[in-house]
């Protein structure tokens, strides 16, 4: 007799909940949901060991559509909810789904602290550069001059780079992908899931109702080759339709160079996602179209101690060295006296 | 740990063999140490407290200190005080007035002498009464010389000089020597009230084990103070307060925040949940974090979050995972947590939110007490958002209240707010240590997959299916087959799916309200101290217990028809409270706010309750409550 030991084979359908998906038709969120469901079955983690945590916004409806455990929290607080959950239950795989408003504006503080603590969380931030659920106000990533319902004369708020922020918070895993670039997105989500520590993924996501075309430059067949550079560990930063351009470092300043005429691939910046110092990753996160192609892929993937592990290690150590807590001993610590 | 029996005179190696002065027996005494916030007055008070408790006295304390860690020296703003009431009888308050005041400088004298009884003992450090210090204290002439203190028994002592001389051989700097002044003052007070030095000597030994020179200096200063009382003729005699007839058992002294931390640990243990405290430092609640962070061997996890909001939401995350989620704060922090608390109400997760109240609004009086957050606890959130509220009545009571709160939280799947206050948190009293074996279990149930679909006799798992108490199941991640999503959007009854239908919303609002109101069915009957019916009922809650209980007992002893009901449960209120209120001609509600419980009582029961309200950042005096009772009895 043989004992069946293999895990049941899971399919994307196993991760789909029974709820109707209520994003606007054509929303980039559908693609992210599809890629997530495609990636999850292969992680070797059963759905009941997974929790999706979100805040408020279009992206934050995500947990309702996953047949896992889930909390749709309050605006901006998903990283904090996830932190408590992961500390209490280190055995769970915890995903945080957030947006540019939820994660960078109202929840900026929590995002920053979750990242610096490096809990084993996977944070996916859908960046559509607009407030969708509240119907079209500018967000912390909207470009200067952006005309929205709340900025009829154009935005005067300097936009924030999500990845610069994450790198500034000493993130151990930082990546970017694009909603319609489905193979790249799936691969990026998988890398994020496999990373031990906080992984932060920014997904360029099109809001076809309130900010349609915000990423046309990065997705349009005509322009994307010049607008995007794919980061691959150990490889030079080459881009362009004919793969004829590259990024070269001039001191600490990146520059776009034409290959040929004495400029070889060896002269270019070679991507090192494992660099101990985040300096180069930060430079990459600053690159903005049209001055530069915008990098996608894994910017940084390094190891650093994880808060949840250390927290639980301290508890284990206290138990080992002092023994399991005993109430009688606790109460009687210090001076006591008897009344007969 | 060391256990001493007060019956056996403890060998006091420090007491020299000199003829003792006459000893006067007192039923109780109240002593206050006051000085600059760096003078070690809190330590002096704590040592007197512990020593008195070990002697078998009942004790009640009132530490009172400024919000500034070190305000400019010698100013009134920087005065820190610690009042200890020790008695040979059962007491409930730290005392209205002090029998003996130790003032380390003019500012301390100026701010505290008003509380000294006429004829009371006034010990001051004469060395500090120079022009430099008199001016910031507001004195134009030296009160030690101008006759303004004539109604007290004034003992100006060159405490600084005497302390320096006592530690002279140890070659400490002047600053270090002067730091020992509080031990000199302690020694003197210990002599005056016939207390042994041993507990304090043990404390010095333990605390300064790595600084033997400092330990020795403190020992010498302590003994010098004691010997000063013994050898000088200044004091006519000393006083003795016998042990109190407390209920049998083993005691220790405990502070409110400490008792609350112990109660939370006990609740976790008794429920089999692991305690997860997420909090943000705030006065006067931080000591709960400090205490809990020391007990990781109970499986306690403490998380100092980036802010108050992160703290409560992290605790909610932990509760979702099956842990005992706890967050602690004070008024301003609670204001920030309210949205999170609403999420816990909507998701119907068990959670404990502790509010150690302080003077408000805004930053208010961080180190002073007040009970002005009752309405915030009840109504501080958007929407119809009921939260059960339990309030501790004193330091030791915090232990039980924490367990009561967690039992409600898990039984009804609801966040529960515990109200404490600065007075309770930092005050201390003897605690009759519980028999651990008889602590009540707290039953927690996480449904298993086997009870549901896919298993024989199973049914579908419905996250908002309610039991007879209207509680939903606490299914936790990791359980196969019970995957579900919860959140802040309105839920469909039973299924828990997002739902915006008008009738469903109204039904759910009622369900949540009924669930919390239903807790009243399981509350014990309201205790009333005194006659079942009569002229006046004093109705109180929280930290005013001691003053109200004492005042009522005093008035009744004088023949007044007055009873006392003290509420532990503020939401829901006890089921029999309405009937009780109607049995008295008048209901008096003393509160350290402008009448918050009174508003609730009047609104709920249409009882024309009368308020006694004080918002000075200080607790009630017994005399204030008694005067109001007598006024009501006589009109």
Confidence check: pLDDT of B249 > 90:
yes
- Exposed e or buried b per residue across A128-153, where buried means at least 16 C-beta atoms within 10 angstroms of its C-beta: bbbbbbeeebbbbbbeeebebeebee
Separation in Å, CA of B481 to nearest CA in chain A = 7
pLDDT of amino acid B458: 72
Q: Which CATH number fits domain B252-438: 3.40.50.150, 3.60.110.10, 3.40.50.970, 3.40.50.2000?
A: 3.40.50.970
**Interface with chain A: mutation pick from B49, B295, B297, highest number of A CBs within 10 Å:** B297
Q: Is the pLDDT of residue B513 over 90?
A: yes
Contact between B351 and B393 (Cβ < 8 Å): no
Is A48 close to B481, i.e. CB distance below 8 A?
Answer: yes
CA of A178, closest CA in chain B: separation in Å?
Answer: 27
Contact B307, B319 (CB under 8 A): no
| Closest residue by Cα to residue A338 from B252, B197, B434 | B252
Dist CA B308 CA B279 (whole Å): 7
- Whether the domain at B23-241 and the domain at B252-438 fall into the same CATH topology: no
**Given A77, A84, A338, which is nearest B5 (Cβ)?**
A338
Q: Edge-to-edge strand order for the sheet containing A173-178? A: A228-231, A294-301, A173-178, A199-204, A121-127, A93-99, A50-54, A69-72, B485-487
Assess contact for B24 and B238: CB atoms under 8 A. yes
Is it the case that residue B15 has pLDDT exceeding 70? no
**What H or E segment, with its residue span, contains residue A317?**
helix A307-322
pLDDT of residue B181: 97
CATH 3.40.50.970 correct for A12-235+273-315: yes
More confident residue, B65 or A281: A281
> What pLDDT is attached to residue B453?
72
CA B46, CA A305: separation in Å to the nearest integer?
A: 41
Which residues are CB-neighbours of B6 under 8 A, at least 6 positions away? A337, B54, B55, B56, B243
Report pLDDT for A206. Answer: 97
| Pairing relationship of beta strands A294-301 and A173-178 according to DSSP bridges | antiparallel
Which region, left, alpha or beta, applies to residue A316 given φ > 0 means left and ψ of -120 to 50 means alpha?
A: alpha
The per-residue pLDDT for range B149-172, each reduced to its tens digit, is: 999 999 999 999 999 999 999 989
CB-CB neighbors (< 8 A) of A333 in chain B: 1
Could you tell me the end-to-end alpha-carbon distance of chain A, in angstroms, rounded to an integer?
A: 69
- Domain at B528-633: CATH code: 3.40.50.920
Q: Percent of chain A scored above 70 by pLDDT? A: 98
Q: How many CB pairs under 8 A join A and B?
A: 233
- Per DSSP, A3 falls in state -
pLDDT of chain A along its 340 residues, tens only?
A: 555 556 678 999 999 999 999 999 999 999 999 999 999 999 999 999 999 999 999 999 999 999 999 999 999 999 999 999 999 999 999 999 999 999 999 999 999 999 999 999 999 999 999 999 999 999 999 999 999 999 999 999 999 999 999 999 999 999 999 999 999 999 999 999 999 999 999 999 999 999 999 999 999 999 999 999 999 999 999 999 999 999 999 999 999 999 999 999 999 999 999 999 999 999 999 999 999 999 999 999 999 999 999 999 999 999 999 999 999 999 998 889 998 8
Give this complex's ipTM. Answer: 0.97
**Nearest by Cα to B416 from B571, B610, B184:** B571
CA of A276 vs chain B CAs: smallest distance (Å) = 26
For residue B10, pLDDT over 50 is answered with no
**Residue B414: which residues within 8 A CB-CB, separation 6 or more?**
B344, B345, B348, B350, B351, B387, B388, B408, B471, B515, B516
CA nearest B264: which of B373, B378, B409, B53? B409
Count of Cβ atoms closer than 10 Å to residue B576 Cβ: 14
pTM for the full model? 0.94
pLDDT of residue B70: 77
- Strands laid side by side in the B428-432 sheet: B2-4, A335-339, B249-255, B428-432
Give the integer Cα–Cα distance in Å for B103 and B113: 8
- Closest CB from A52, A77, A84 relative to B318: A84
Asked if B477 is an interface residue toward chain A (Cβ–Cβ < 8 A), one would say yes
Q: Which residue of A has its CA nearest to B2?
A: A335
| pLDDT category of residue B64 using cuts at 50, 70 and 90 | confident
* Whole-number Å distance between alpha carbons of B323 and A313: 17
- Is residue B11's pLDDT more than 50? no
**How many Å apart are CA B291 and CA B544, to the nearest integer?**
25
Res A4: pLDDT: 54
**Average pLDDT of B530-540?**
98
Q: Which two tokens stand for residue B161?
A: 């000089």
From first CA to last CA, the distance across chain B in angstroms is 54
Eight-state DSSP code of residue B11: P
Compare CB distances from B1 to A47, A89, A333 and report the shortest one's residue.
A333
Query: Which two three-digit tokens encode residue B444?
Result: 């927690």
User: Other CB atoms closer than 10 Å to residue B383's CB: what's the count?
Assistant: 12
pLDDT in tens, A74-95: 999 999 999 999 999 999 999 9
Instruction: Please determine, looking at this structure, whether the domain spanning B23-241 carries the CATH number 3.40.920.10.
Output: yes
Task: Output the pLDDT for position B8.
Answer: 36
- As a whole number, the mean pLDDT across chain B is 94
Q: What letters, b where the CB count within 10 A reaches 16 and e where it falls short, cover A48-60?
A: bbbbbbbbbbbbb
Give per-residue pLDDT as tens, B371-408: 999 999 999 999 999 999 999 999 999 999 999 999 99
Residue identified by tokens 């957030």 is A98
Q: Do B4 and A337 touch (CB under 8 A)?
A: yes
Mean pLDDT to the nearest integer, B25-54: 95
pLDDT at position B19, please?
54
């Amino acid at each position: 007799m043989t004992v069946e030991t293999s895990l049941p084979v899971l399919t994307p359908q196993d991760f789909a909940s029974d709820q109707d998906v209520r994003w606007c038709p054509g929303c980039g969120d559908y693609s992210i949901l599809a890629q997530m469901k495609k990636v999850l079955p292969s992680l070797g983690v059963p759905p009941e060991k997974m929790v999706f945590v979100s805040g408020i916004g279009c992206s934050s409806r995500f947990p309702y559509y996953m047949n896992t455990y889930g909390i749709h929290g309050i605006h901006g607080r998903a990283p904090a909810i996830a932190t408590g959950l992961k500390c209490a239950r280190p055995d769970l795989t915890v995903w945080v789904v957030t947006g540019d408003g939820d994660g960078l504006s109202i929840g900026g503080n929590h995002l920053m602290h979750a990242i610096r603590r490096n809990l084993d969380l996977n944070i996916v931030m859908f960046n559509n550069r607009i407030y969708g659920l509240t119907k079209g106000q500018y967000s912390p990533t909207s470009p200067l001059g952006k005309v929205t319902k709340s900025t009829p004369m154009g935005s005067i708020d300097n936009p924030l780079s999500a990845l610069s922020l994450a790198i500034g918070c000493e993130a151990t895993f930082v990546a970017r992908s694009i909603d319609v670039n489905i193979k790249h997105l799936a691969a990026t989500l998988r890398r994020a899931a496999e990373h031990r520590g906080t992984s932060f993924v920014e997904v360029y996501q099109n809001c076809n109702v309130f900010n349609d075309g915000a990423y046309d430059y990065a997705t349009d067949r005509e322009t994307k080759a010049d607008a995007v550079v794919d980061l691959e560990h150990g490889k030079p930063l080459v881009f362009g339709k004919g793969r004829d351009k590259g990024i070269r470092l001039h001191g600490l300043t990146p520059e776009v160079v034409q290959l040929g005429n004495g400029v070889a691939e060896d002269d270019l910046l070679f991507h090192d996602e494992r660099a101990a110092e985040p300096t180069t990753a930060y430079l990459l996160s600053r690159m903005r179209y049209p001055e530069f192609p915008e990098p996608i892929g894994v910017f940084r993937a390094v190891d650093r101690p994880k808060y949840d592990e250390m927290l639980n290690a301290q508890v284990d150590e206290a138990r080992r060295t002092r023994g399991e807590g005993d109430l009688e001993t606790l109460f009687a610590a210090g001076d006591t006296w008897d009344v007969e | 740990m060391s256990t001493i029996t007060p019956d056996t005179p403890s060998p006091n190696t420090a007491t020299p063999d000199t003829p003792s002065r006459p000893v006067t027996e007192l039923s109780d005494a109240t002593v206050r140490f006051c000085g600059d916030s760096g003078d070690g007055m809190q330590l002096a008070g704590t040592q007197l407290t512990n020593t008195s408790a070990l002697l078998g006295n009942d004790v009640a304390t009132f530490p009172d200190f400024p919000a500034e860690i070190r305000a400019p020296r010698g100013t009134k703003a920087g005065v820190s005080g610690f009042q200890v009431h020790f008695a040979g009888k059962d007491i409930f308050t730290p005392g209205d007035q002090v029998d003996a005041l130790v003032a380390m400088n003019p500012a301390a004298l100026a701010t505290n002498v008003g509380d000294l009884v006429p004829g009371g003992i006034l010990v001051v450090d004469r060395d500090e009464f120079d022009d430099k210090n008199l001016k910031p204290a507001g004195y134009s002439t030296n009160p030690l010389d101008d006759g303004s203190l004539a109604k007290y028994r004034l003992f100006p002592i060159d405490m600084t000089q005497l302390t320096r001389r006592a530690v002279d051989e140890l070659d400490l700097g002047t600053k270090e020597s002067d730091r020992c002044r509080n031990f000199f003052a302690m020694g003197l007070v210990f002599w005056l009230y016939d207390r042994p030095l041993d507990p304090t000597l043990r404390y010095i030994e333990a605390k300064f084990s790595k600084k033997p020179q400092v330990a020795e200096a403190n020992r010498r200063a302590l003994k010098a103070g004691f010997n000063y009382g013994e050898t000088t003729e200044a004091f006519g005699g000393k006083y003795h307060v016998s042990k109190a007839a407390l209920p049998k058992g083993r005691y220790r002294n405990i502070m409110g925040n400490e008792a609350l931390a112990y109660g939370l640990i006990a609740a976790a243990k008794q429920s089999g949940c692991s305690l997860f405290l997420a909090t943000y430092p705030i006065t006067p609640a931080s000591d709960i974090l400090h205490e809990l962070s020391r007990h990781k061997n109970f499986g306690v996890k403490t998380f100092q979050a980036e802010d108050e909001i992160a703290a409560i939401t992290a605790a909610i995350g932990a509760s979702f995972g099956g842990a005992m989620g706890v967050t602690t704060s004070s008024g301003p922090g609670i204001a920030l947590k309210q949205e999170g608390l609403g999420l816990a109400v909507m998701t119907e997760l068990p959670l404990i939110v502790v509010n150690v109240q302080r003077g408000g609004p805004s930053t208010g009086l961080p180190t002073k007490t007040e009970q002005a957050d009752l309405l915030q606890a009840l109504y501080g959130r958007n929407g119809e958002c009921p939260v059960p509220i339990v309030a501790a009545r004193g330091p030791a009571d915090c232990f039980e209240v924490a367990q009561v709160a967690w039992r409600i939280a898990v039984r009804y799947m609801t966040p529960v707010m515990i109200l404490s206050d600065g007075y309770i948190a930092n005050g201390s009293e003897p605690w009759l240590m519980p028999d651990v074996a008889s602590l009540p279990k707290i039953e927690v149930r996480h449904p298993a997959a086997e009870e549901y679909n896919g298993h024989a006799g199973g049914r579908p798992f419905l996250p908002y299916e309610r039991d007879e108490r209207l509680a939903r199941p606490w299914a936790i991640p990791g359980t196969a087959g019970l995957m579900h999503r919860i959140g802040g959007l309105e839920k469909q009854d039973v299924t828990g799916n997002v739902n915006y239908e008008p009738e469903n919303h109204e039904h759910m609002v009622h369900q949540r309200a009924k669930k919390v109101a239903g807790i009243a069915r399981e509350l014990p009957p309201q205790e009333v101290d005194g006659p079942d019916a009569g002229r006046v009922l004093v109705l109180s809650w929280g930290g005013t217990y001691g003053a109200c209980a004492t005042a009522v007992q005093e008035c009744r002893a004088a023949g007044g028809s007055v009873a006392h009901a003290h509420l532990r449960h503020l939401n829901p209120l006890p089921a029999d409270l309405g009937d009780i209120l109607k049995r008295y001609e008048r209901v008096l509600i003393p509160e350290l706010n402008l009448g918050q419980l009174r508003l609730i009582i009047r609104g709920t029961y249409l009882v024309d309750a009368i308020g006694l309200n004080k918002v000075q950042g200080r607790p009630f005096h017994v005399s204030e409550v008694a005067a109001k009772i007598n006024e009501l009895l006589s009109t």
